């Protein structure tokens, strides 16, 4: 398995500002993903973070709103830009350890509240 940490664990932000969430893994991983869990809802995939290239976004999510970086095989960031109250959610980082490995592991999440 992998130990995944996220920073911050929670934050309260003002409308119109941006927040960058960090995801750190204790070992090199092949795949990293970012999910959003809105209040009372299940997890929705935002994007796949690609090492050394632009992230692959799911329908309904765009790079200008959710820029993602992945500079190496253990670290990724997700920025939530120009926030509105609708962005209040839990944001989760998820990884797959190696090619052919099947289990997907999740970080503890970042609970974001936008006022």
Nearer to another protein, 57 or 75 (CB): 57
- Is residue 66 within 8 A of residue 80, CB to CB? The reply is yes
For position 70 contacting another protein by CB under 8 A, the verdict is no
Nearer to another protein, 28 or 104 (CB): 104
For position 16 contacting another protein by CB under 8 A, the verdict is no
Measure the CA–CA gap between 24 and 31, rounded to whole angstroms: 13
For position 48 contacting another protein by CB under 8 A, the verdict is yes
Size of the site for another protein (CB under 8 A): 24
C-alpha distances in Å from residue 39, one per residue of 32, 43, 91: 23, 10, 11
Q: Which residues contact 40 (CB under 8 A, 6 or more apart)?
A: none
Interface residue list for another protein (CB under 8 A):
30-31, 33, 35, 41-45, 48, 92, 94, 96, 99-100, 102-109, 111
């Amino acid at each position: 398995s992998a130990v995944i940490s996220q920073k911050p664990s929670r934050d309260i932000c003002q409308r119109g500002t941006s927040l960058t969430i960090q995801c750190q893994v204790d070992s090199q991983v092949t795949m990293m993903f970012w999910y959003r869990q809105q209040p009372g809802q299940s997890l929705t995939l935002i994007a796949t973070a690609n090492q050394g290239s632009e992230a692959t976004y799911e329908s309904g999510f765009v790079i200008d709103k959710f820029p993602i970086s992945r500079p190496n095989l253990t670290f990724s960031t997700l920025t939530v830009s120009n926030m509105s109250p609708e962005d209040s959610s839990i944001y989760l980082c998820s990884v797959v350890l190696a090619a052919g490995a099947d289990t997907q592991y999740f970080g503890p999440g970042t609970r974001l509240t936008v006022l």
